[in-house]
Structure 1
């Protein structure tokens, strides 16, 4: 590869169905494990939503899915998020913060190394199911409801958490969001817009 086009991936953090980190994900791939399973009742009662006819209004014909383990567990104190705010933080935001933390550990990078730097954050994000299910009762909403459930805040939360002063972008181009985020981050790196881009695939 031409040096002008070479990009180094320094650290990786990830969560997938059946894998909580990169080593576990490699095991899933190398052993050909399938973690698409019947939807467990503890996640939701699919009997209430399932219908064999795909065109049935208000129903789904999906019976299987891939699930990330311990979706309801999060060390909010690690990220200086109080209990009231944590209750409103979309799991997508939690996963991004967790994966950024893992990637920095994997790459041997500390918060101090990046704090105040021109590091950019580029995140491919799509859908906001948590927002739809969380905002049903207006009496429960508070000042964290918007920041906790808005996809646009996902990148900003990372920038704020680590005091990153470069571009902060949540990119939604539907199914291509992750690829567009990687492309945008790569272009920013090559152009010198920011020396270290963090890009997150969701």
Structure 2
């Protein structure tokens, strides 16, 4: 059995929808640390007034990724972004993602905490079961392996 490594890359960074835009911002001296209320009111809960934020986290092609619209609306933005970025990285690595279906592909993810679960479950009257699975960090690798139909061992830390 041959072992291979997919060496594609993708990402979302402050004020940058992709790595090329991030590089352009860097070499052009663009200040990507801003003070605005796109995500939080500046200074909220003692957060710094200026911080690096992604341009837009609201757009997600739920149909493409096989996610029910109700679940997509209560899914942690990290999970939505992870699906998009993983797909882009595979394509960047020169592969058609469809050719990986059923393959023995490992999924290893490092993820930080998120306030999404708390935000979506704050009001018990509005609580949907979709937010339970869409905001669990342990589900990141599951969702990725399910979408790509990997036969995997996975690890989330």
| Alignment match, 2:83 | 97
Aligned residues, how many? 154
Instruction: Structure 2 unaligned segments of length 5 or more: list them.
Output: none
Q: Could you tell me how far apart the structure 2 residues matched to 1:80 and 1:100 are?
A: 15
Residue 60 of structure 1 is matched in structure 2 by 46
Separation in 2 of the partners of 1:128 and 1:45? 17
Partner of 2:100: 114
Name which of 170, 182, 185 aligns with 2:156.
170
Distance 1:111 1:139, change over 3 A: same
Q: Which structure would you say has the larger Rg?
A: 1
Equivalent position SS for 1:169 = strand
Q: 2: distance between equivalents of 1:14 and 1:64?
A: 21
Consecutive unaligned residues of structure 1, counting only runs of 5 or more, are: 1-6, 50-58, 172-202
RMSD: 1.8
Aligned equivalents of 1:46 and 1:26: distance in 2? Answer: 26
Provide, for residues 37-84 of structure 1, a one-character-per-residue CA deviation record: whole Å limited to 9, x for no partner. 11x23433336x3xxxxxxxxx30511111111111111111011211
Match of 1:10 in 2: 7
The alignment's TM-score, normalised by the length of structure 2, stands at 0.88
More displaced stretch, 22-31 vs 158-167: 22-31
* Cα distance in 2 between the residues matched to 1:74 and 1:61: 27
Establish whether residue 136 from structure 1 lines up as the match of residue 136 from structure 2: no
- SS of match in other structure, 2:86: helix
Using the size of structure 1 for normalisation, the TM-score is 0.70
Aligned positions of 1:18-97 closer than 5 A: 18-38=15-35, 40-46=36-42, 49=44, 59-97=45-83
List structure 1 runs of 4+ shifted beyond 2 angstroms. 7-10, 28-34, 41-47
1:127 maps to 113
Q: Tell whether the 8 Å contact from 2:10 to 2:92 is kept in structure 1 after alignment.
A: yes
Go from structure 1 to structure 2 and tell me whether the alpha carbon gap of 1:135 and 1:31 turns closer, same or farther (over 3 Å shift): same
- State the SS of the aligned residue for 1:101: helix
